[in-house]
Structure 1
Amino acid sequence: MNILKQYWQNYISAYKGLSKATWLLALVMFINQSGSMVLPFLGVYMATVLDFSLQNAGIVLSMFGVGSILGSFIGGWLTDQFGSFKIQVCSLFGSIPFFLIVPLFNTFENLCVAIFFLSLIKELFRPANSASVSFYAKPENITRAFSLNRMALNLGYSIGPAIGGFLAAVSYNFLFYANACMSFIAGTLFIIYFKNRAGNAPKKVIAEKAATVAKVKSAYTDGVFLIFSFFIAIYAFCFFQILNTLPLFYKNVAFMNEKEVGLLMGFNGIVVFVLEMALVHFAEKKFTLSANMIIGSLFCGAAFLVLIPSHSQLILFSSIFLISISEILIMPFASTVAVNRSLPANRGSYMGLNGISFSIAFITSPLLGTYIAENFGFTNLWIVNCTMIAITSIGFYFIMKKI
């Protein structure tokens, strides 16, 4: 009982001091992500409905990654040029027509093009949204503000795939239409609340980092941050198996139906929703940024390690739990590193590069993941993931000393 009481107190304490604008950004993220039912089922959709091979499905999923990279890069640049508000509005409303027309494309080549442009427009949102979080949050609450935003994202992600599993059982087209509707609702709420709303202008931080700005005008010329981003990309390669090869593994090897896959994927969001704020608040006080990055990456490796000997239902849920803890420790603290290395004037480029690190995985993860799974089996893919996580953990140990 004392442990539960302590956890509850820590959970409540984690929310204190967060601004109203931070909560509204989280609500917009929740609504938008609640409609994100397409990506977790896209591989299954192509394999079962369109009868694509695993390799072709992987290529289409990789086009989502190509669009994400360009979207993150362009979104970061546009955010620095025009501000985060306009870019988020353009992304939320601009993605709606693409969600509506994607079901009309059922050939390999056409679907590659459609998914590329859908991803590009959708990914403009990420660096602009991250810049908004840092803009509206108090400086001492940056990490928790990102955690709240991610908690909202994952709560939406837990609801989206769970509902998506039932919609997919009727028609996969409903997944795309639901995504379009939620983007419209999120965009409307965002405009109503954030139009002409002022944020925090950390003048003291600007003065303290003036010397850094003279040397580093963009994230793409910051050598230390580029190396850090490289290891984030390796981590993300393994983590994003949750969006492509893991659903295929559940379907083809564990013989789960769409509803069961949706519920299992939704469990990830539930774990993050319940644990993230309290765990981040605890980790922020007890561990260094370096320790959190290393421990978080090792949890990801453990998530794939447990799949090697067995794929019983208990093991599958244990794996999702471990990868959820990894996500909690890596994602918000990676964003904190980007904020700490940047200034308001160049924050878009840092958030853009942070997004690109994850977007690279959207290309490599499905492309190489499905290739390894199809030609060498899922067990060898999990071994590759564990090896790459070991390399990433060592990389974080050394590069975080410089950061």
Structure 2
Amino acid sequence: MRTMRGWFRDTTGGLPRTFWYLWTGTLINKLGSFVLIFLAIYLTTARGFTALEAGLVLGMWGVGGAVGTMLGGTLADRWGRKPTLLTAQLGAAGMMLTLGFVHDLWPVAGTALLLGAFAEGARPAFGAMMVDVVPERDRLKAFSLNYWALNLGFACASVLAGFAAQTNYLLLFVIDAATTLVTALVIFLKVPETRSERPVRAAGPAVGLPGRGGLRVVLTDRVFLGFVVLNLFSALVFLQHASMLPIAMAQDGLSPSSYGTVIALNGVLIVVGQLFVPRLIRDRSRSHVLALAAAVMGVGFALTAFAGTAWLYALTVLIWTVGEMLNSPSNATLLGELSPVAYRGRYQGMFSLSWQVAAAAGPVLGGLVRQQAGNTALWLGCGAVGGLVALVHLISGPARERQAAALRPAVAPAEPLPATAMPKPAETATTASPPALAAARSTS
């Protein structure tokens, strides 16, 4: 029992109160994330759209998301994290309700475009807030806990969405909008603005006041862009589980319910095991962890070429899920350290854009390879890409660590706070001062 209590303190202890409000918002929002799960089914059944028309609507969602991530990142730096996040959430709730009431193709597609922009526009501001409020030494466990909440909420939403859809499809949109509004209320009442207004100086790029320099700073940061490209290739492999995997299983005579059961193992393993990941990978080289994650994901997807039964497909899912669990918190902590204080929103937006591009291009590339070269070539190709990404992580890791060290900023001289105005120890991590001022370096 004492060991369990110690593990629990080590896994969840020491994080600022603001983080837990953000974590709660994540969980609430994901518990109500019904619409995306059933949107294609809703459009083709309740609205009578063809598969092509449903694909167009989903594509418009993706286009809106790509625009939203970049716009949200810029606004998070210029306008502030909190107003950007609240605006995006309120807009997403409004568009979600609208989508439940519009009927014709182009109004639906236009609403989906705006919904994607608002929904994805919240991500950079949220990510920047997480980096702002969590000390560097605690980011690995903070992002692991947030990833756990994402998957727990999504797993529960998948079940609840099925019951809601059987009752009334409109209920999906109403509940999704309601949970988004509740999340916005939690942020409004409990989370302060976290963007620092102080000038910063550092040995690396992006010196100066928040918001100055635009996207040029991001687009000229070769080390960071290399990191984004590696994530793009990893995402292209990973997202095949949502597009080509169900097709491969159907070709082997397995039912859609078999795919649902197999893919559910992904969420179950993450919910059960993600809380143990920080202790396994802390104090280890992030480049080695990311390389191992890419290699394991590559092996998992490559083995899909030899699967033919549900249990073999389940085994491949379990393997690449381990890689996913290693990749997500390590990626998030490294992203935080590679993002200059003044440009965190933009850096978060650029990184999110890599996921949007992968989500749009992944099904097309996967389908093209499968059609031209066959199922085996697709999955073995995924394995090859994973191995290549692992190798490049090992090669590029030292440059990333040097840049992360150079970007630990020092606050420019400012008027010292009077003793009575100093923050209490329990609240220091929630102030707007740069997380690099934390006493210890990240243990990831």
Same fold (TM over 0.5): yes
Report if aligned partners of 1:58, 1:370 keep a CA contact under 8 Å in 2.
Answer: no
The alpha-carbon distance between structure 1 residues 44 and 367, as it changes in their structure 2 partners (threshold 3 A), is farther
Give the CA deviation at 1:22.
0.9
Worse-matched range after superposition: 372-381 or 217-226: 372-381
The alpha-carbon distance between structure 1 residues 107 and 178, as it changes in their structure 2 partners (threshold 3 A), is same
- Give, as a single letter, the amino acid of the residue that structure 1 aligns with 2:269: V
Paired with 1:133 and 1:227, the residues of 2 have a C-alpha distance of 23
Structure 1 unaligned blocks of 5 or more: none
- Give, as a single letter, the amino acid of the residue that structure 1 aligns with 2:254: A
The alpha-carbon distance between structure 1 residues 273 and 43, as it changes in their structure 2 partners (threshold 3 A), is same
Report if aligned partners of 2:263, 2:314 keep a CA contact under 8 Å in 1.
Answer: no
Aligned to 1:283: 281
The alpha-carbon distance between structure 1 residues 247 and 12, as it changes in their structure 2 partners (threshold 3 A), is farther
Worse-matched range after superposition: 304-313 or 378-387: 378-387
- Give, as a single letter, the amino acid of the residue that structure 1 aligns with 2:255: F
Aligned to 1:213: 206
Aligned to 1:274: 272
Report if aligned partners of 1:144, 1:280 keep a CA contact under 8 Å in 2.
Answer: yes
Paired with 2:249 and 2:84, the residues of 1 have a C-alpha distance of 37
Q: Larger C-alpha radius of gyration, 1 or 2?
A: 2
Paired with 1:365 and 1:7, the residues of 2 have a C-alpha distance of 41
TM-score relative to the length of structure 1: 0.84
Residue 191 in structure 1 maps to residue 188 in structure 2: yes
Deviations 1:182-228 (A, max 9, x none): 1122112221211xx3659698x944x25533499622220111111
3-state SS, counterpart of residue 239 of structure 2? helix
Give the CA deviation at 1:48.
6.3
The alpha-carbon distance between structure 1 residues 131 and 56, as it changes in their structure 2 partners (threshold 3 A), is same
- Give, as a single letter, the amino acid of the residue that structure 2 aligns with 1:271: L
| Aligned mate of 2:69, from 65, 69, 72 | 72
Aligned to 1:229: 228
Paired with 1:108 and 1:390, the residues of 2 have a C-alpha distance of 42
Give the CA deviation at 1:311.
4.3
Report if aligned partners of 1:43, 1:248 keep a CA contact under 8 Å in 2.
Answer: no
* Residues paired across the two proteins, number: 392
Paired with 2:11 and 2:362, the residues of 1 have a C-alpha distance of 33
Residue 129 in structure 1 maps to residue 122 in structure 2: no
Give the CA deviation at 1:251.
6.5
Give the CA deviation at 1:113.
3.3
- Give, as a single letter, the amino acid of the residue that structure 1 aligns with 2:279: H
The alpha-carbon distance between structure 1 residues 56 and 64, as it changes in their structure 2 partners (threshold 3 A), is same
Paired with 2:5 and 2:371, the residues of 1 have a C-alpha distance of 45
Aligned to 2:406: none
Give the CA deviation at 1:248.
5.5
Residue 255 in structure 1 maps to residue 259 in structure 2: no
Worse-matched range after superposition: 57-66 or 224-233: 57-66
| Aligned mate of 1:175, from 167, 172, 175 | 172
Deviations 1:311-354 (A, max 9, x none): 43323333333333222222222222222122321111111111
**Considering only aligned residues, what root-mean-square deviation do their CA atoms show, in Å?**
3.3
3-state SS, counterpart of residue 124 of structure 1? helix
| Aligned mate of 1:139, from 132, 136, 142 | 136
Report if aligned partners of 2:93, 2:177 keep a CA contact under 8 Å in 1.
Answer: yes
Identity of aligned residues (%): 23
Give the CA deviation at 1:47.
6.2
- Give, as a single letter, the amino acid of the residue that structure 2 aligns with 1:167: A
Worse-matched range after superposition: 386-395 or 153-162: 386-395
Give the CA deviation at 1:151.
1.5
Worse-matched range after superposition: 300-309 or 367-376: 367-376
The alpha-carbon distance between structure 1 residues 340 and 376, as it changes in their structure 2 partners (threshold 3 A), is same
Paired with 2:71 and 2:87, the residues of 1 have a C-alpha distance of 13
Worse-matched range after superposition: 389-398 or 341-350: 389-398
Higher helix share: 1
Report if aligned partners of 2:80, 2:195 keep a CA contact under 8 Å in 1.
Answer: no
Residue 158 in structure 1 maps to residue 151 in structure 2: no
Report if aligned partners of 2:16, 2:133 keep a CA contact under 8 Å in 1.
Answer: yes
Give the CA deviation at 1:29.
0.5
Report if aligned partners of 1:67, 1:118 keep a CA contact under 8 Å in 2.
Answer: yes
